Chain A
């Protein structure tokens, strides 16, 4: 229970369904005040109190579990080292994979619980993971990294309801956080300044920003602070010859170089992804399906060709801003087939 409305209603629904429910709030920072101020994310004293209050209203026991050490190692340090390697990590997804449905679930199982129940918007029936019915809130993307074993011990009671209805239900149940704002951004970066957070941990590493011909068009303080597809904050001294905006196309940590170019150069048709996790029967050969490349991103038709431990994914229409480190999630309609991590994205060359 994060202290937000979704996990509170999820707990209440699980209790209504007859489960023996215990509320758990994850303490993710050794010093709770140091992460996030205000009621926007997780990890604050206020959130811990909100979660406890909701548990009291629902009438279930409530405990705070200290997962700060694991969270720091598996999520925060991973986040920093992924950026250092020129990739764009998704910490929420990592937290599901390593903390909520791993460290937390393991501890719960050892203590005699059968499953972890969360307020994610996704449907799970007989091991089949589907998108939540609220298209705007669907969180199947961030759950797709979970293995079938992890999902076998998971409950997502909110997948069949819209967020608006969950807020109404929270109010009806007398849960005080019914109107609390949604969390967003990254919970462990208090002020939302990801670049500053990374600079503090990785130090300044000045280097060149070049165009696709290799001409130096600007400078940066650390290639790690950039994301493929980024346009804002490049502060390029030399304008493009055609005067059009330029985007980050590539980040090379080895040469500490950021490459920029026109928007159409971001178009990607072919993606190589690694470490696949299958929620369906692992495919024997090539097949067609849909793929989602970002949380709440658009969906593309594609062909998938398994190749050893990797997947080659050909998109029917070009996608933009495909960043190594992000997850690809494969869907058949609203059903999740599996996921993998983007290793390389091949540009469409005109």
Chain B
């Protein structure tokens, strides 16, 4: 967490109060929450009333996908189809799949090209009078590819379809503007911008009939957050979230340039040490702090373990609940093939990353890949 976020959060932890209460302590907490809301709204070019606090990105994605689907279908029963990109984060992917499995939704998975990009034409092809919702992430969490969100949202708008984008990875690193994006809903989360875990927000446009109504809530109760998300607000976490957003927004351009430079040096170093390493994702339109490689003949798990033993933390795709790694759906959607998908690793830079980190990885990656290759793909 950023020191500013820790400070804001701990100050608020010491001054407990329920923002929904009418007494003095409640009013004080409410002021903190509403100021936080204004800070976040300003940073993402939204109105304060458009900020709906949640417990994090997963809840915000679920609220957007399920809630908007239900609301749109209720208004127009013929709209039963969800259109989503094939490379969404599991918080969107599995919510969409759940609608298909339990709510009778039809689903169109929009394909991506080999760099992981959703082409506006591909989205246009998937549109029709039966579509209730379209959702495409702002930037991919695995391979870092940035999507042309404004163009995609415009395609959805042509067909009267509400558009959601999961901007968890993009927020704080790319210029994310809610109003200019044309999206009706946008997910952000605290811990990706240097704030606390367990808090996030769904930016939610004002209802505009007939295309967009407020989502049907997932949580019912006290009617907080314009009746869309009940539950006592976590004022300390929200204060920390806002403090982090404020710092991240102020530093975004310089930090993006710094991380982009570190990343480019990392890519050069990996290529020098492992000439057949494949950089996955869009080499140009990618997150500044993301480098994602496939190492032919290696198993990602073995690489991760060997790097971890050298003090380098990186990540493979996802694992099943027992911990067995699965080939990434993102790489498979990019037509990378199972073997390339299994031998892949993601390196992410953040506000604590330095030149020394790049050097450490540059020194380690050659011997580690050689060793993992000997262990093979078994």
- On A, residues with C-beta under 8 Å from B are 22, 25, 27, 32, 44-45, 48, 52, 61, 63-66, 68, 70, 103, 107, 110-112
Contacts and interface: CB of A to CB of B under 8 A. Distances in A.
B305 A110 contact: no
B372 A32 contact: no
B324 A64 contact: yes
Interface in B340-378: 371-372, 374-376, 378
Nearest to B374: A110
Given A103-B378, A107-B378, A110-B374, A32 B305 contact: no
Interface stretch (B46-54, B84-92, B276-284, B315-323): B315-323
Given A64-B319, A103-B378, A111 B305 contact: yes
B322 A45 contact: yes
A61 B376 contact: no
Given A111-B306, A112-B371, 19 more contacts: A22-B305, A22-B309, A27-B322, A27-B324, A32-B321, A48-B322, A61-B308, A63-B301, A63-B305, A63-B323, A64-B322, A64-B323, A66-B324, A66-B325, A70-B378, A107-B375, A110-B375, A111-B302, A111-B372
Contact of A45 (B321, B371, B375): B321
A44 B321 CA distance: 10
Contacts of B322: 27, 32, 44-45, 48, 64
Interface string B284-325: 000000000000000001100110110000000001111111
Given A107-B375, A110-B371, A27 B323 contact: yes
A112 B301 contact: no
Contacts of B376: 110
Shortest Cβ-Cβ A-B pairs, 9 listed: A64-B323, A110-B375, A32-B322, A27-B324, A48-B322, A66-B324, A110-B374, A111-B375, A45-B322
Contacts of B305: 22, 61, 63, 111
A65 B321 contact: no
Nearest to B305: A63
A32 B323 CA distance: 10
Nearest to A46: B322
B276 to A, nearest CB: 19
A42 B305 CA distance: 23
A25 B314 CA distance: 20
Contacts of A111: 302, 305-306, 371-372, 375
Contacts of B306: 111-112
Contacts of B375: 107, 110-111
Contacts, number: 47
Interface residues of B, number: 19
A277 B375 CA distance: 27
A68 to B, nearest CB: 8
Contacts of B320: 32
Contacts of B374: 110
15 contacts: A22-B305, A22-B309, A32-B321, A32-B322, A61-B308, A63-B301, A63-B305, A63-B323, A66-B324, A66-B325, A70-B378, A110-B371, A110-B376, A111-B306, A112-B306
Nearest to A51: B323
Contacts of A103: 378
A48 B322 CA distance: 6
Contact of A65 (B301, B308, B309, B372): B301
B375 to A, nearest CB: 4
A66 B376 CA distance: 13
Given A61-B305, A63-B305, A107-B378, A32 B371 contact: no
A70 B374 CA distance: 18
Nearest to A44: B322
A161 B322 CA distance: 31
Nearest to B375: A110
Nearest to B323: A64
Given A111-B306, A112-B306, A48 B323 contact: yes
Contact of B309 (A32, A48, A61, A107): A61
B63 to A, nearest CB: 28
A112 to B, nearest CB: 6
Nearest to B301: A63
Contacts of A44: 322
A346 to B, nearest CB: 42
Contacts of A110: 371, 374-376
Nearest to B306: A111
A9 to B, nearest CB: 21
B323 A25 contact: yes
Interface string B190-220: 0000000000000000000000000000000
A66 B319 CA distance: 11
Nearest to A52: B323
Contacts of B324: 27, 32, 64, 66, 68
A269 B325 CA distance: 51
A111 to B, nearest CB: 5
A61 B313 CA distance: 12
Contacts of B302: 111
Contacts of A112: 306, 371
Interface centre among B319, B324, B372, B374 (most CB of A within 10 A): B324
Nearest to B302: A111
A103 B374 CA distance: 14
B77 to A, nearest CB: 37
A343 B167 CA distance: 66
A71 to B, nearest CB: 12
B34 to A, nearest CB: 40
B285 to A, nearest CB: 34
The residue among A44, A45, A68 with the most chain B CB atoms within 10 A of its own CB is A45
Contacts of A52: 323
A239 to B, nearest CB: 50
Which of A52, A64, A66, A70 has most chain B Cβ within 10 Å? A66
A190 B309 CA distance: 36
A147 B272 CA distance: 42
A112 B306 CA distance: 9
Contacts of A65: 301
B344 to A, nearest CB: 16
* Residue from A27, A48, A70, A112 whose CB has the most chain B CB atoms within 10 Å: A112
The interface centre, meaning the residue of B302, B319, B323, B375 with most chain A CB atoms within 10 A of its CB, is: B323
B217 to A, nearest CB: 31
A234 B322 CA distance: 40
Contacts of A70: 378
Contacts of B321: 32, 45
